[in-house]
Structure 1
Amino acid sequence: MPSLRHAFLLNAVRELGRSVPDIARTRASWDACLERIREACTTTLGMEYDTLTRFDARSVVSLFTHPEQARILARLVDERARLCEAHGRYADALADSVYAGQLLMCSRARFGLPRDARAADVLEREAGTPSPLPQAGE
């Protein structure tokens, strides 16, 4: 059973890796990018993005059985923060960045630093690092 759960999580992380470039490419269109983020959340976590983000980070992390799940959601929330910043919605971008940080903090508190660090390594290896935001004038 644990190997099946691990395979599911690894598949979710790989799916996120496939989705993130699409999300970054559609950042110019608010609706298209937001829809990609929602689709990625449903595909990777099996839960709706809008539902998960309505609750506080501690409650959401308590739903998860592995730190990879919290990291996936934090990555998607961070992508939404980048979308908000690209569209000049700085207050929303800041709120999303804070929420992503809270998800990571709660993940470390719940799963412990060693497990969360391994989850971070897996996510970076499979999904890559977030693409940088274009600077003004680019």
Structure 2
Amino acid sequence: MIAWNNYKDEAKQRGSLAMEVYVIESRPSGDVDAVKQHLPAHLAYQAKLESSGQLMFAGPLSSDCGEWMEGTGMILYRAKSLGAATELAQQDPMHINGARSFTIRRWLINEGSLQIDIKLSEQKISLDPTQ
């Protein structure tokens, strides 16, 4: 094993992006009614974080076989530190109220791509997942 910060420095030296973000895996506590009850506040919290630039992506994960929705979700935060990202996750209404629990990990984004379609005259921006 190698210390995280040493690995991050090595990745930068190799020319990788080495953008650190934080991955939250959020799991239901088992009370479906509690999840439904806190969903509006959770979505409002996500929208607030998205607006402030702290939320990169969020959404549900399938079961291992890919055929079922079990209620597990993944959230990606931009934050200054693991501690700051943990605070964001702790303040999620789902987590505050015990409807869901979470684990958090650092993720070092080194490579990949994202396609964005910008139509200036239409004032329209879209992501094209087929590219």
Q: What TM-score do the two structures reach when normalised by structure 2?
A: 0.30
When Rg is computed on C-alpha atoms for both structures, the one with the higher figure is: 2
Greater relative CO, 1 or 2 (CA 8 Å, sep 6+): 2
